[in-house]
Amino acid sequence: MIINVSEAKAKLSKLLDMVYHGEEVTIAKNNLPIADLVRHHSKGKRKLGMAKGMLTIPGNFNDEDREINRMFYGD
């Protein structure tokens, strides 16, 4: 089904329902096709921990730094 932009604006909910049920919908401007409405397909869940082992945190990471404290709090 090809539908012009102005009509697509007015019937968006209906068009989305049609796409959900497998219908092919093309949106046109001045009868020139510019976009296809397609059903969304999930890419799957994110995989966590991909950088595991690539980063090391030094043991003194949380230690205070005198120079930084001086900049924030003064002498």
Residue that wins the pLDDT comparison between 23 and 75: 23
Number of Cβ within 10 Å of residue 12's Cβ equals 11
7-66 residue pLDDT tens: 999 999 999 999 999 999 999 999 899 999 999 988 888 888 888 889 898 998 899 989
Dihedral in degrees, nearest 10, Cα atoms 67, 73, 74, 75? -80
For 22, residues 6+ apart whose C-beta sits below 8 A from its C-beta are 39
Q: pTM of this prediction?
A: 0.54
pLDDT at 46: 82
